[in-house]
Every structure is written in C-alpha cells, then in structure tokens.
Amino acid sequence: MRTRSLLVLSSLVLLALIVAACSPIRGTRSSRDDDDDGGGGGGGWDETLPCSDSLVDVWSIYLGYGDSIRARIDTVNDADTFDPALDVYNDDPYWGASLVESADDEFECSYPPPEYRCPEIDTEVEESGVYYGVVKCLGGNSSGVGRYRVQLWVNGSSAMPEIEHDDVNL
C-alpha cells in the first residue's frame, strides 16, 4: 500500500510540475506585441507607435504605497528608432488625470535616434493605486513608426504592465 501511495504522490508531483512549466505565471516576461515579431525579448515588452497624428500608447500597473519603480522606454532597431518620451499619471489620462512625473532624455537609447536620448523614471510611489505610463513620439523617422521596448521594475523586480490604450489621441 505504501508503494502505491508513493507512486500516486510522485505522479501528482510530476503532473504539477508539467502544468507549472506549461502555464504562464503572472509577472513573468511575456510580450504584448501588435506586430507578431516575437517581441518581449531582452527584458521588456515590445510595441509600436505611429510617429504622426500625436498618437500615444497608454500602459498601466497597480502600485502600492512606498513602491519603488523604475521605468524605461528604449528603442529596438535602427530602422524604427525614434525620440520617445514617457509621462506617468495617477489615473487614466484618457479620462483626465494628474501628471505625476515626466521623462525624456535620461539614458542613451540602444538604437539612438539622430538626436536626443531615451526616457527613464526612477521614483517612489506616494499613494496606492493604478498608475498609467503614456509613451509618446517626440520625433519620428522615415518609416513613420517608432518601435520601442517597455522595461519596468517594481521594488527591484521585473514587472509586467498592461496596455490600456493602443495608438490613441489624448
């Protein structure tokens, strides 16, 4: 009987490991990429943004009081490089909200545009709630589309934001 119990237990453990290996786990690296090119590699989530018509992408994440956040927007290739900027709001900016922080030329982009640098925000949250990052294009390229990577860390660990609004006017 004991041998049968051990066999059943080890089978259940093996099944649990297989399920865990095949299931997405919240907070792991994955991508939200509207171009089906694999995105998400290299420590972030890839997205595109038209560099015309003043369109923006809006990302969100829940943060707790005192959380330390670091957010970066980086370029991902020479052909689609652009001059990105990042604004953070304490509510959905699509419906009106207060600007918490803004970033523009804080670090050298992986694929630098002809001028300027990429944005980075490093701050501590003063109130719990959902925060919204607005990615915008300040300068385009010949393709008219900027490809970028969102990199986000909360309390030193990689975090996964959700895209709320894709290519919208604010």
pLDDT at 21: 32
pLDDT at 133: 96
pLDDT at 142: 72
pLDDT at 65: 97
pLDDT at 88: 96
> pLDDT, tens digit, for every residue of 87-137?
999 998 878 899 999 999 999 999 998 889 999 999 999 999 999 999 999
Burial 34-67 (b: 16+ CB within 10 A, else e): eeeeebbeeebbbbbbbbeeebbbbbbbebeeeb
pLDDT at 54: 87
* Positions in the chain whose pLDDT score sits under 70: 1-42
- 31-169 fold: Jelly Rolls (2.60.120)
pLDDT at 36: 32
Domain ranges for the chain: 31-169
CB 75 within 8 A of CB 84: yes
Question: What pTM was estimated for this model as a whole?
Answer: 0.74
| DSSP single-letter state for residue 125 | -
CB 131 within 8 A of CB 88: yes
